[in-house]
Amino acid sequence: MKKHLLLFVILCTAAAVSAQSYAFGLKGGLTVGNQRWSDFERDPSYKMHGIAFIESAEEENNFAIFAQGGYHIKGSAMRNRTFSNPINGDLFRPPAYEFLFRNVSLTLGGKQKFAFTGASKLYYMLGVRGDYTVSTNLAQYNDFNEQNPAYAIFPFDDSEFIREFNYGLTIGGGMELPFSEFVGMLLELTVNPDFSLQYQQPAIPNVTDPFTSMSRTLPERKVRNLTLELTLGFRFLHKIEYID
């Protein structure tokens, strides 16, 4: 039902755009990823993203309905953390670790635009976003988790815990800088919170500690995405004129 509703919205948006002038383009830039792991946050990850978009284009260019699809690497990192060796109690600092989720996304929303200088426009935007997780890098931590089951500090590469479909909002603003009537650039800053959990692992009881032979429980782990994206792109206008 959700897939049918999404397809209906996309078709309606495409039909509305095709009946009038529209703008389209490509944009990309820096993604600063952060994740809340249960009750604490990790360090940010720094990756790139790419987006293709299409939007309606009124004669006055004051408001637009847009649809965009993109590729985003969301995640977090663990840097400059000190751990204790469970065998001898010595403290050590491991190298930086990243926890990455490679997602493709579809966003539908609107832009409200305001005159700035000359033909330039400032705008704010709000969109509803759906994400599909294509892959992760969690498999690289399998050996550690298997060798240290009672101290599995990394997420498990398990499809039961990794959520493939996620949803959230895209909120932000930017500036359109036209070079001519039909070609321009845009600079954009967005915040992209997820409402759903990217990763959810329940508590795992009765895990045997190989060093003490005692059993312990691995705590529940919940991971939610939040990204900040700085984007630069090109915007092209396809103008339709009706002649009586």
Structural domain spans, the chain: 2-238
| The two structure tokens encoding residue 139 | 């498999």
Query: Tokens 């493939």 identify what position?
Result: 164
pLDDT score at 88: 64
Q: Which amino acid is at 134?
A: V
- pLDDT tens digits for range 24-78: 999 999 999 999 887 667 899 999 999 999 999 988 889 999 999 999 999 999 8
Which parts of the chain register pLDDT below 70? 1-19, 39-40, 80-94, 241-244
Residue 146 DSSP one-character state: H
Q: What are the two backbone dihedrals, phi and then psi, of residue 147, each rounded to the nearest 5 degrees? A: -80, -20
Count CB-CB contacts under 10 A for residue 227.
Answer: 26
Single out the residue of 24, 30, 26, 23 nearest to residue 231, CA to CA: 30
Instruction: In whole angstroms, give the CA distance from residue 106 to residue 70.
Output: 7
Q: What are the two backbone dihedrals, phi and then psi, of residue 236, each rounded to the nearest 5 degrees? A: -120, 135
DSSP lists the bridge partners of residue 19 as: none
pLDDT score at 219: 84
DSSP lists the bridge partners of residue 111 as: 64, 125
Per CATH, which fold does 2-238 belong to?
Porin (2.40.160)
pLDDT score at 175: 98
